[in-house]
Amino acid sequence: MSTIRVRFAPSPTGGLHLGGVRTVLFNYLFAKKHGGKFILRIEDTDQTRYVEGAEQYIMDCLQWCGLEPDESPVHGGPYAPYRQSERKDMYRKYAEQLVADGHAYYAFDTPAELEAMREELKAKGSSSLQYDQTVRMGMHNSLRLLPEETQQLLDAGTPYVIRIKVPANETVSFTDMIRDEISFDTNTVDDKVLLKADGMPTYHLAVVVDDYLMEISHAFRGEEWLPSAPVHILLWKYLFGLENMPKWAHLPLILKPDGNGKLSKRDGDRLGFPVYAMDWKDPKNGELTKGFKELGFLPAAFVNLLAALGWNDGTGQEIFTLEELCDKFSIDRVHKGGAKFDFEKAKWYNAEWIKRTSGGDLANDVKAVLAAQQIAVTDDAYLIQVIDLVKERCTLLNDFATQAGFFFMAPTQWDMEAVKPKWNEDKKAFFEALMEQYNSLPNWDVASIEQTFKDLATAKNIKPGELQLPMRVMLVGDKFGPAVFEIAAMIGRTGTIQRIQAFMGAL
RNA sequence: GCCGUGUUGGUCAAGGGGUUAAGACGCCUCCCUUUCACGGAGGAAUCACGGGUUCGAAUCCCGUACAUGGUACCA
């Protein structure tokens, strides 16, 4: 068997959507599992929707996810160029060849003429509004025109497109790796444009030509492409031979959590979760779309949750590293049906990954989170201890701001409501005595801190439990965090005493 | 409308002729903890519908419904 080469071909028209990253992921996993290559080609032939910077953004997202391609516009490779716009000349040749072979034709119809055709079909009550075999002989194209008429138009520089001539009464079928046999009646497929008036190919021509030229062996794409598959199959048949065609896999769609439909950027804004891998700022209108990265997701968790959306290994295992995924991924365990995206579950994956990642490995990310709170970390060893102490209560990296922040900065306001109602002179006296005893405590460790606290409480005839909540509020400012004595040990003797004092002063 | 593809708890899903129909998220109860979590033990909740085939159907077949995608000189 020849080398496995899979490819992903995003169009640089905006941010990288969940579905896009998942397609990349499945491409990547399949390639790695079989020792093949993952190729990234850019579909930048849509002049009107092309967005400056989007291509770099895509590369950045893939790098963050750890899914870097083997060949791409930035990585280079033997089949360069990898940008469709730079391969423009290759496509025309094949389009012309199709015309010469009678499988395609020139069409000179203006937008107005196309519109008129659709209006007419609609008026007739026709079941389809397509430019297809039923209408093409009534249109302005080289099929109906005399050869000299066509030549005249061409010579005169009349704008034209090249359309595929879909045959009548044939069945086009192919095997999809996850859906098995799929077939179409050619009478229901339209004469798609292959080469646009501006000389750029449409996706239909470009995928086929590029897949052939780049020797792609397997092609993964979203299910939304299934309806145009017959066009691609026909093209392969006419141009390069079905035996050379890559194997197809059409991935299920990722659906919006509520209501119906494909997950879109809007849903994220509306429901309050990201749908892009990383923040994307649209240069056209300055609009910012939130990304998983900036919200505080770990790339490993992001990849993990994406893999689980439409695939599982059948064992019930939920947490996978990229390496495990590469090893265990199998195309026939990919689902056929679309899956609704569940942000709660997505967060759970991240929490699991935070728990499983060591404090040391988390340190840089947490440092950045704290820096955003104006907290500069100088002692890495201390930071790592803090992280290990609090990470199990963090779902997102940004949670470290509240969960770890008080280890670096004393609270300036306190949850007084939690303390005041039960506060009295006895308790006040307890904490004053406590400060004194802590001040002279020989060893500042969790056991000593706790023992002193409890002994003093007993001596003052107060239940230690009743004093722990006030103590917590003094140290943290609020009612959360690890065990109070752990916190006290961590922030040190002077820190602890100062915080008790500050609170008493503010009371 | 037409064409394609789907349909197991609220969500992700295992299971592909005989199962008490796994597991996970979420939700609820309890335990742990005089904080918040983590962890542990339980609980509620499911085979879209109708016909076949079969001793037996979530599983195979046919319809229907519903969902979703496409129906552009967008990808």
pLDDT digits (tens, 9 = 90+) for A136-189: 999 999 999 999 999 999 999 999 999 999 999 999 999 999 999 999 999 999
Instruction: Give chain A's count of helices (H) and strands (E).
Output: 21, 13
Contact, A230 CB vs strand B, < 7 Å? no
What does the pLDDT average to over A250-257? 94
Cα-atom radius of gyration of chain A, to the nearest Å? 32
Confidence grade of residue A109 (pLDDT, cut at 50, 70, 90): very high
Count, residues in chain A: 507
| Average pLDDT over all residues of chain A | 95
- A321: its two tokens: 């590293």
Choice between A122 and A157, residue whose per-residue pLDDT is larger = A157
CA A456-A459-A461 angle, 5° bins: 110
Contact, A199 CB vs strand B, < 7 Å? no
Distance (Å, whole) CA A292 – CA A301 = 10
DSSP state of A330: -
Contact, A338 CB vs strand B, < 7 Å? yes
CA A300-A301-A305 angle, 5° bins: 120
Distance (Å, whole) CA A475 – CA A409 = 10
Distance (Å, whole) CA A73 – CA A54 = 13
Asked which of A99-103, A264-268, A314-318, A348-352 is least confident by mean pLDDT, the reply is A264-268
Are the beta carbons of A1 and A36 closer than 8 angstroms? no
- Closest nucleotide to A45 by C1' from CA: B75
**Strand B: which positions are within 7 A of a protein CB?**
1-8, 10-15, 22-26, 34-38, 67-75
Burial pattern A389-422, b for ≥16 Cβ within 10 A else e, equals bbbebbbbbbbbbbbbbbbbebbeebbeeebeee
Are the beta carbons of A7 and A219 closer than 8 angstroms? yes
Judged against a pLDDT cut of 60, whether residue A214 lies above it is answered with yes
Distance (Å, whole) CA A334 – CA A307 = 10
Considering only CA atoms, name the residue closest to the C1' of nucleotide B73. Answer: A196
Considering only CA atoms, name the residue closest to the C1' of nucleotide B25. Answer: A345
What does the pLDDT average to over A268-293? 93
Judged against a pLDDT cut of 60, whether residue A317 lies above it is answered with yes
ipTM of the complex: 0.95
Distance (Å, whole) CA A148 – CA A426 = 108
Contact, A310 CB vs strand B, < 7 Å? yes
Distance (Å, whole) CA A341 – CA A87 = 37
pLDDT > 90 in chain A, percent: 93
pLDDT at A1: 45
Spanning CA of A179 to C1' of B58, the rounded length in angstroms is 20
The dihedrals phi and psi of A311, each to the nearest 5 degrees, come to -150, 150
pLDDT at A47: 86
Q: Residues A456-491: pLDDT tens digits?
A: 999 999 999 999 999 999 999 999 999 999 999 999
Are the beta carbons of A259 and A26 closer than 8 angstroms? no
Spanning CA of A280 to C1' of B38, the rounded length in angstroms is 34
pLDDT at A128: 85
pLDDT > 70 in chain A, percent: 99
Contact, A226 CB vs strand B, < 7 Å? yes
Contact, A479 CB vs strand B, < 7 Å? yes
pLDDT at A261: 87
Contact, A340 CB vs strand B, < 7 Å? yes
pLDDT at A320: 97
- Closest nucleotide to A393 by C1' from CA: B37
Listed in sequence order, the residues at least 6 apart from A479 whose beta carbon sits closer than 8 Å to its beta carbon are A415, A418, A469, A472, A473
Q: Residues A17-51: pLDDT tens digits?
A: 999 999 999 999 999 999 999 999 999 999 889 99
Residues of A catalogued as catalytic: 265
Distance (Å, whole) CA A432 – CA A7 = 69
Spanning CA of A437 to C1' of B72, the rounded length in angstroms is 80
Pick out residues 283-302 of chain A having their CB under 7 A from any atom of nucleic acid strand B: none
Spanning CA of A249 to C1' of B73, the rounded length in angstroms is 27
Residue A19's CB: how many other CB atoms inside 10 A?
Answer: 25
Identify each DSSP E strand in A242-349 by its residue range: 247-251, 254-255, 280-281, 288-289, 339-340
Distance (Å, whole) CA A490 – CA A499 = 13
Spanning CA of A121 to C1' of B7, the rounded length in angstroms is 34
pLDDT at A2: 64
pLDDT at A260: 76
Spanning CA of A166 to C1' of B28, the rounded length in angstroms is 59
CA A214-A218-A222 angle, 5° bins: 110
Distance (Å, whole) CA A370 – CA A453 = 31
- A184: its two tokens: 């179409």
Judged against a pLDDT cut of 60, whether residue A504 lies above it is answered with yes
Considering only CA atoms, name the residue closest to the C1' of nucleotide B26. Answer: A344
Distance (Å, whole) CA A195 – CA A99 = 11
